[in-house]
Amino acid sequence: MPATTAFQLTRPELKVVTVVTLLLLVGLLGTDIHLSALPEMMHAMHTTQSLIQSSISVFLLGVGLSALVYGPLSDIYGRKPVVLAGLCVAIAGNLLGASISDIGPFLGARFIQGAGSGVCLALSRIVLSDIVRGDRYAITSSYITLFTGLSIVLGPVIGSFISMWFGWRANFIALAILLAGMLMVYAYKCPETNACRNKSIRIRDVIADYKLVLLDQTFVSAATLAGIGMACFVMYTATSPFVLQQQFGFSPTLYGWVTAFVSAGLLVSRSLLPLLIRRLNMVKIIRMGLVILLACGSSLLILSRFYGLSTLSFLASISGVFFSYTFIVLCASAISMTPFTDKRGAAGAVYSCSQMALAFTVNSIVSLFSGSEVILLGATFIVLPVMGLYLCQKMQIN
């Protein structure tokens, strides 16, 4: 195998990273491709804004809970068969969602979609940690998510055109087709990466693994920080279609293009992350992301309460949320996975579950409050970063 520097990948590693990138991209489209169609779906299903927004939270709940199953199973049977099984579930969930017109059953289908797509989000992180660790993990993640950031950049744009031409159901059919393609790619192109299989499948052993992971205070803090970053990101994705289309009068297609423009902050921050990691430790980078997020929340509240919020000022404030997401979530992910070797599947499962569960909880709590969506966004972007800065002070890492 050729020699590498600390941040280079070998050819076999690059092959795995390429497949993992595609896997993560397809999994993330489950939250992004139909965003521009949310108002249309609300009217088609004769439901409320809060219920149709909850379809994103329910999807994330499915993602998080399924990770508790996928992680241990991948430790026992290997990553590859578990990924293929999860993709089959995701395909079925999307086809089911495309055939439903009532909000109750639709939310059930969204949970199934999340449970299947959870394998993309949970095991992509675990597969990556099988081949690279520490700073190499964080830097490789930044390059991966530089491309997977195309999900939020292009997903709403593509979804808006699909909805305009074929209706909102076609978004889920298109995603099912992409997932089927991903299944073929993973089956034929990605090798098994789990070199430390745990042959036990006893429930008490799984619970013991989870307990071991949760006793690591650095892991708990890092997973919570990642959940904070994810919760703020999801708050925007669930709210923005209604703010921009109903409050500012955007068309679904214009919403898709504007979201693509604003989310370019993800691509910028992800291109900067490798440079920052070489100069700063990851906790400092997380703090930087939290401060940016706090500034975004403050600007939203101040502008909306005292000066009047224009479309431009709203989008300028929101762009920082995308920018901060990379610094918080990718560095927290790298920190959380570093302490584990043979328990990496369990660690990845608990990480994904806690991250998505926190995002689900925050969005569910915020949905209980009435009032301006912008005010609720601003308050969330202040409270959560303050909590995150406190956690950074408690993290025992240099």
Q: Please tell me the distance from the alpha carbon of residue 109 to that of residue 90, in angstroms, as a whole number.
A: 10
| Six-digit token string for 326 | 């990379």
Q: Please tell me the distance from the alpha carbon of residue 293 to that of residue 298, in angstroms, as a whole number.
A: 9
Question: Which tops the pLDDT comparison, 100 or 76?
Answer: 100
Q: Tell whether the model's pLDDT for residue 342 goes beyond 70.
A: no
| 111-153 per-position pLDDT tens digit | 999 999 888 887 887 788 777 766 676 667 666 766 666 666 6
pLDDT on residue 200: 58
Q: Please tell me the distance from the alpha carbon of residue 210 to that of residue 125, in angstroms, as a whole number.
A: 17
pLDDT on residue 250: 84
| Residues 25/181, Cβ–Cβ less than 8 Å | no
pLDDT-derived band at 2, boundaries 50, 70, 90: very low
| Residues 154/260, Cβ–Cβ less than 8 Å | yes
| 150-207 per-position pLDDT tens digit | 666 677 788 888 888 888 899 999 999 999 999 999 888 888 877 666 665 677 777 8
pLDDT on residue 379: 86
pLDDT-derived band at 9, boundaries 50, 70, 90: low
Choice among 41-50, 77-86, 345-354 with the minimum mean pLDDT = 345-354
User: How many Cβ atoms are within 10 Å of 81's Cβ, its own excluded?
Assistant: 13
pLDDT-derived band at 343, boundaries 50, 70, 90: low
pLDDT-derived band at 3, boundaries 50, 70, 90: very low
pLDDT on residue 105: 92
pLDDT averaged over the chain?
Answer: 81
pLDDT on residue 86: 93
| Residues 139/276, Cβ–Cβ less than 8 Å | no
pLDDT on residue 146: 62
Q: Report CA 115 to chain centroid distance, whole Å.
A: 14
Q: 3-state class of 102 per DSSP?
A: coil
pLDDT-derived band at 87, boundaries 50, 70, 90: very high
DSSP 8-state symbol, 246: I
Choice among 55-64, 70-79, 82-91, 378-387 with the minimum mean pLDDT = 70-79
Q: Nearest Cα to 150, choosing from 249, 15, 33, 67?
A: 33
Q: Please tell me the distance from the alpha carbon of residue 57 to that of residue 195, in angstroms, as a whole number.
A: 34
pLDDT-derived band at 91, boundaries 50, 70, 90: very high
| Six-digit token string for 43 | 């009217």
Question: Which tops the pLDDT comparison, 341 or 74?
Answer: 74
pLDDT on residue 138: 64
Contacts of 249 (CB under 8 A, 6+ apart): none
Residues above pLDDT 90, as percent of the chain: 12
Tell me what the mean pLDDT of segment 206-228 comes to: 84
pLDDT on residue 96: 93
Tell me what the mean pLDDT of segment 268-296 comes to: 84
| 13-31 per-position pLDDT tens digit | 778 888 888 888 888 787 7
Q: Please tell me the distance from the alpha carbon of residue 276 to that of residue 325, in angstroms, as a whole number.
A: 15
The CATH H-level superfamily of 11-190+201-394 is MFS general substrate transporter like domains (1.20.1250.20)
pTM greater than the 0.75 cutoff: yes
Residue-range domain boundaries for the chain: 11-190+201-394
| Residues 43/177, Cβ–Cβ less than 8 Å | no
| Six-digit token string for 396 | 């025992």
pLDDT-derived band at 4, boundaries 50, 70, 90: very low
Q: Tell whether the model's pLDDT for residue 5 goes beyond 60.
A: no
